[in-house]
Structure 1
Amino acid sequence: METVNIKKLAQLLNLSISTVSKALRDSHDIGKETKEKVLQLATELNYQPNPHASSLRKHKSKTIAVIIPEIANNYFALAINGIEFVAREKGYHVLIYLTHEDYANEVAFTRHLVSGRVDGVLISVAHSDKDFAHLQELRMKGLPIIFFDRVCENFDTVKVTTDDYESAYLATKHLIEQGCKKIANLGIAKTLSIGNKRLNGYLKALKDHNIPVDESLVIECTNDQDADFNLIKDLFKNERPDGIFAQVEKYA
């Protein structure tokens, strides 16, 4: 059976393609009688609109990019599940980009997206991010950007985060209330805002409970699993903390 498209409808009705397209969209530019003729023939011939062609005409890909540093982290797995669920409900597809905590990968991905492959970007920045020029480039192209979890504080856009300071404070306070006095802080890079906020929450809890800060218990972990293992091993060999505040779950 021959595929019926807008061009075919226009030929059969002796109308312009533009008129038929507007009639199918119920445009106020088209009269009632013309709309009825177009809709009647479209129904008779079982016309089905082409969503891909429609997206191209509107310069919309109906696709959202999600850039994350890792997938093993339970938080990001849950976040992707939620993002994909909502996107699917709205008729969007999701492309997942894993930077593996590598700044160069993040830059390469965003440069790839400049071409207009997606309609928007959700991003949680890499561990080593120091320069966000690549994200500014995306925004200059008119692409919406939303940060979640790991954000760039100086980037003026929507940010979806938890209260990292308060969460760290409460976690440390709980350990203190359990009798811990030598609480280690296993932190992520201080270049990340969440790392600084969680560290400050930890320090404030110690201060409020008159526990002096022992710098040897404040560990800044890396993105190297073997190096982190040795840092934590040395911590237990030298100081032996009686409590641990792990800023991210993999350090726990």
Structure 2
Amino acid sequence: MVIVTLLNALMCNRFRFFMHIYNLTYLYDTRSIMSEITIKHLAKQLNLATSTVSRALNDSHEISDKTKKRVVELAKALNFQPNAYARGLREQKSKTIGIIVPDRVNHFFNLVIEGMETVCRANGYSLIVYNSYEDVAQEKKIVYGLLGGKVDAVVMSLADEEKEVEHLKWLQERNIPIIFFDRIAQNVMGSKYVTNDQEAAYIGTKHLLEKGCKKTVFLGLSNTSSVGMARKKGFIQAHEELEIPLSSSSFLEFGHDDVQNQAILEKLFYKLDRPDGVLAAAEKLGLSAYRALAKTKIKVPNQVKIVSFTNMQVADLLNPPLSTIAQPAFDLGSACATELIKGLKDKKTDFSLDKKIIIPSVFTARESSQ
């Protein structure tokens, strides 16, 4: 009796095992069949031409609503997945946009990417992100790699605006549209999305001066970008308007080494004649200034007030909360992607037309400058 029971159990287990294998095989075969469904299969079952099915799936105005409904319903029932790669080869389009940024870690560029990604995803485009690391040689390598048609268009902020831009013209010669943002190429035709850097710096500086600062300092990155120069002009403009004198010591330039930048700022704040107001023209300089002030035990805003350009989303959580000039990064990215995709779909758009689109920044006064 025991032996019979054991044999029955073994048979049941074996049966379950074979059924499990059968189910897996069936599932695999079903998925394989589904993955192999093509437009030709749909056309054959519906007794339609493949071109009609293709146009119906692409919502063409040439196809009646009744036919579209039949095609879409069968496609859903058979789990039809259109081959985007094959379509791209036929249309000689990759449905991909490349974005080149000089500093992937910066919150500003991350938000630009997010804005672009949102629009691309909604329109069936992919986005590839490249980092030039503030290096023109690296930027050239990236551009050269894109000449083969990996992307349909490029959005970029330059590593350095003053150095050669011949490699950017390579893209245009291959009919790959370029849109610039933030750091723009003055000598290359095309759309350029920027913000009101000079006006924003003027507003932030005037705020510091009206709060009683008598000796303010401008912290800028040591490059010749149009962005940095515009912010410097805004800083000067506010002082001239309020007739507060400036000197060579009112302007400090920094590199990209955060540790070295902080050390320089610590020496500055240790001085008896230290500044009582700071306008940081870049996020990393604003953070370095905060760390240096904490290290030297200088009280913010009682002894030194500070305003910084930054898109940092936790600025209000710093101690004290940081007064910021936030660029419309997400909107810049969204606008760039929208123009590109609209132009790519239209096919008649002239991307070589030179135009500048200004989207204003937003100044938010917080405790650090009160």
User: Is residue 161–residue 184 contact of structure 2 (8 Å, CA) maintained in 1?
Assistant: no
Equivalent in 85, 108, 117 of residue 52 of structure 1: 85
Question: Unpaired runs of 5+ in structure 2?
Answer: 1-29, 287-370
- Structure 1 gaps of 5+ residues are none
Paired residue total: 244
1:214 aligns with 2:243: no
SS of residue paired to 1:25: helix
Match of 2:322 in 1: none
Show the counterpart of 1:96: 129
Change (3 A) 1:9 1:80: closer
Alignment match, 2:94: 61
Report the alpha carbon displacement of residue 150 of structure 1 after superposing the two structures with TM.
Answer: 1.4
Deviation at 1:9, TM superposition (A): 6.5
TM-score, structure 2 length as denominator? 0.59
CA distance in 1, matches of 2:162, 2:93: 30
1:25 to 55, 61, 66: 55
| 8 Å contact kept, 1:217–1:235 | no
Asked whether the 8 Å contact 2:43–2:53 carries over to 1, the reply is: no
User: Does residue 71 in structure 1 map to residue 112 in structure 2?
Assistant: no
Deviations 1:109-130 (A, max 9, x none): 1110111101111111114751
Offset at residue 4 of structure 1 (A)? 3.5
The yes-or-no answer on 1:194 pairing with 2:224 is no
- Say which SS state the counterpart of residue 112 (structure 2) adopts: helix
Structure 1 residue 251, shift from structure 2 partner? 0.2
Find out whether 1:108 has 2:141 as its counterpart: yes
2: CA distance, partners of 1:195 / 1:28: 50
Matches within 5 A, 1:157-176: 157-176=190-209
- Which position in structure 2 is the counterpart of 1:246? 280
Are residue 135 (structure 1) and residue 135 (structure 2) matched? no
1:121 and 2:154 are equivalent in the alignment: yes
Q: What is the CA-CA distance between 1:59 and the residue it aligns to?
A: 1.0
Distance 1:171 1:28 in 2: 53
Contact 2:202-2:235 within 8 A present in 1 as well: yes
Check whether the contact 1:127–1:223 (CA below 8 A) recurs between aligned residues: no
SS in structure 1 at match of 2:279:
strand
| Higher-RCO chain (CA-CA 8 Å, sequence separation at least 6) | 2
Flag the 1:93–1:29 CA change in 2: closer, same or farther, 3 A. closer
State the shift of 1:188 in Å: 2.4
Query: Post-superposition shift, 1:50?
Result: 2.0
CA RMSD of aligned residues (A): 3.0
Instruction: Quote the sequence identity (%).
Output: 40
Q: How far has the Cα of 1:51 moved from its partner?
A: 2.2
1:10 to 1:4, Cα distance in 2 relative to 1, 3 A: same
